[in-house]
């Protein structure tokens, strides 16, 4: 039997139930961060090879995480990096439509707004259930729809969209690119991009992937990559070594997704930590992580005391690792947050509701502590 996953994290004297905001970094990832700072104190310890090895290793682990080749992974610093890349790179013209979801997290919406200057129409589909529904998507699509972009798990409702069903709806039409924001899902559940059927998956790295802040990635289906109309010329992506000038200057065509990486791709003070965090999840196995997280969610939902109404799904495929609760009056979210704080539990208020989001660092004792504070 392997040690509990919580052993991989610094001992907490409080219960951090807010991974949907920031995931804690595992100890091995923090050690990599310290090593990076030490190396920067004495730059002789920063090897030239690291500039190439760090992104290559991270790319390959992220590929493994989403069931794709490393050469299909764009390294970024956020969700927004991948979405802005797509918004500016996709061949969208005057009159084309991008469909977004009402109430989606702003990071999923804003990247598309600049396209309005080129005459691209942005429309939002209502999501009264808490996530985009296949029927609502179907009735919103028109023959001008070129992009559908939605979160997988919705930050403000905790509902998980049924991605494969949404993709099916789009596949009944032509020329629709399906872009999925997996920031609240990747790292907490299996996310095989080819099973999901999406065209692009973007995610941050600092929530369920337990990386430092300023991490993220995008996966682009190779056929989509070939349609991108944006090119960048970043010297470190183009050269194979840093000691000599290239013999000639021409954009390489063999880079795959790396051609779109965020600049300073090696990001020597951040990416090694993130790589260790992702490797840890891979070693444990993402199915095991999901089982662990969902057991905590079961405990939370089944133990919910009187006076609380569950607003996120109670069971099934739509349930995520984000639990949204509403108190019955006279209790309020603000009062409950104070009680939780006094009991040593950190949670969040989102869209007027209490949001609890446990992950691998949490134990059943953390959930018991939260339930006791909610009952008070």
Ligand X SMILES: Cc1ncc(COP(=O)(O)O)c(C=O)c1O
Q: What residues make contact with ligand X under the rule CB under 6 A? A: 78-80, 105, 107-108, 151, 155, 181, 183-184, 204, 216
Instruction: Enumerate the β-bridge partners of residue 122.
Output: 98
Minimal distance in Å, beta carbon 105 to ligand X? 4
Cα–Cα distance, 207 to 24 (Å, whole number): 8
Minimal distance in Å, beta carbon 322 to ligand X? 9
Element (DSSP H or E) covering residue 277: helix 271-284
Of 78 and 177, the one with the shorter C-beta distance to ligand X is: 78
**Nearest residue to 275 via CA among 53, 69, 71, 11:** 53
For residue 105, give both structure tokens. 């997290």
Minimal distance in Å, beta carbon 148 to ligand X? 16
Total Cβ atoms within 10 A of residue 323: 27
Minimal distance in Å, beta carbon 357 to ligand X? 10
Of 70 and 211, the one with the shorter C-beta distance to ligand X is: 211
Of 106 and 330, the one with the shorter C-beta distance to ligand X is: 106
Cβ(170)–Cβ(150) below 8 Å: no
Of 9 and 81, the one with the shorter C-beta distance to ligand X is: 81
Of 75 and 371, the one with the shorter C-beta distance to ligand X is: 75
Cβ(221)–Cβ(201) below 8 Å: no
Of 18 and 181, the one with the shorter C-beta distance to ligand X is: 181
Minimal distance in Å, beta carbon 209 to ligand X? 11
Minimal distance in Å, beta carbon 146 to ligand X? 22
Cα–Cα distance, 69 to 283 (Å, whole number): 18
Minimal distance in Å, beta carbon 8 to ligand X? 23
Minimal distance in Å, beta carbon 275 to ligand X? 18
Under 8 Å CB-to-CB from 274, ≥6 apart: which residues? 29, 58, 205, 209, 211, 212, 215
Of 177 and 357, the one with the shorter C-beta distance to ligand X is: 357
Q: Give the Å distances, CA to CA, from 85 to 37, 58, 118.
A: 30, 20, 16
Total Cβ atoms within 10 A of residue 82: 31
Cα–Cα distance, 370 to 376 (Å, whole number): 10
**Nearest residue to 289 via CA among 103, 19, 104, 75:** 19
Cβ(83)–Cβ(224) below 8 Å: no
Of 161 and 204, the one with the shorter C-beta distance to ligand X is: 204
Of 105 and 112, the one with the shorter C-beta distance to ligand X is: 105
For residue 91, give both structure tokens. 């061949």
Minimal distance in Å, beta carbon 87 to ligand X? 13
**Nearest residue to 362 via CA among 191, 190, 203, 188:** 188
**What is the phi/psi pair of residue 355, to 5°?**
-120, 125
For residue 231, give both structure tokens. 């090119």
């Amino acid at each position: 039997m392997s040690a509990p996953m919580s052993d991989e994290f610094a001992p907490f004297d409080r219960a951090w139930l807010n991974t949907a905001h920031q995931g804690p970094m595992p100890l091995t990832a923090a050690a990599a961060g310290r090593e990076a700072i030490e190396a920067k104190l004495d730059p002789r310890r920063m090897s030239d090879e690291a500039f190439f090895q760090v992104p290559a290793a991270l790319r390959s682990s992220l590929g493994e995480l989403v069931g794709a080749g490393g050469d299909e992974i764009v390294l970024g610093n956020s969700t927004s990096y991948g979405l802005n890349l797509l918004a500016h790179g996709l061949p969208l013209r005057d009159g084309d439509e991008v469909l977004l979801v009402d109430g989606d997290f702003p990071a999923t919406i804003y990247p598309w707004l600049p396209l309005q200057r080129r005459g691209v129409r942005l429309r939002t589909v209502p999501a009264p259930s808490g996530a985009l529904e296949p029927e609502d998507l179907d009735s919103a699509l028109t023959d001008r729809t070129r992009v559908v972009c939605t979160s997988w798990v919705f930050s403000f409702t905790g509902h998980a969209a049924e991605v494969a069903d949404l993709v099916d709806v789009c596949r009944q039409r032509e020329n629709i690119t399906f872009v999925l924001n997996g920031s609240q899902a990747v790292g907490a559940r299996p996310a095989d991009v080819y099973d999901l059927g999406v065209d692009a998956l973007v995610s941050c790295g600092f929530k369920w992937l337990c990386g430092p802040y300023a991490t993220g990635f995008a996966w682009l289906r190779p056929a989509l990559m070939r349609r991108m109309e944006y090119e960048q010329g970043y010297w470190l992506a183009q050269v194979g070594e840093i000691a000599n000038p290239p013999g000639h200057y021409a954009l390489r065509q063999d880079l795959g997704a790396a051609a779109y990486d965020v600049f300073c791709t090696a990001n020597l003070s951040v990416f090694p930590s993130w790589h260790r965090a992702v490797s840890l999840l891979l070693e444990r196995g993402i199915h095991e992580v999901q089982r662990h997280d969902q057991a905590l969610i079961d405990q939370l939902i089944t133990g919910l005391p009187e006076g609380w109404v569950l607003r996120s799904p109670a069971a099934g495929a739509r349930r995520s690792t984000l639990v949204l609760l509403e108190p019955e009056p006279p209790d309020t979210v603000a009062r409950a947050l104070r009680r939780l704080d006094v009991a040593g539990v950190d949670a969040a208020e989102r869209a007027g509701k209490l949001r609890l989001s446990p992950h691998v660092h949490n134990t059943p004792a953390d959930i018991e502590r939260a339930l006791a504070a909610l009952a008070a």
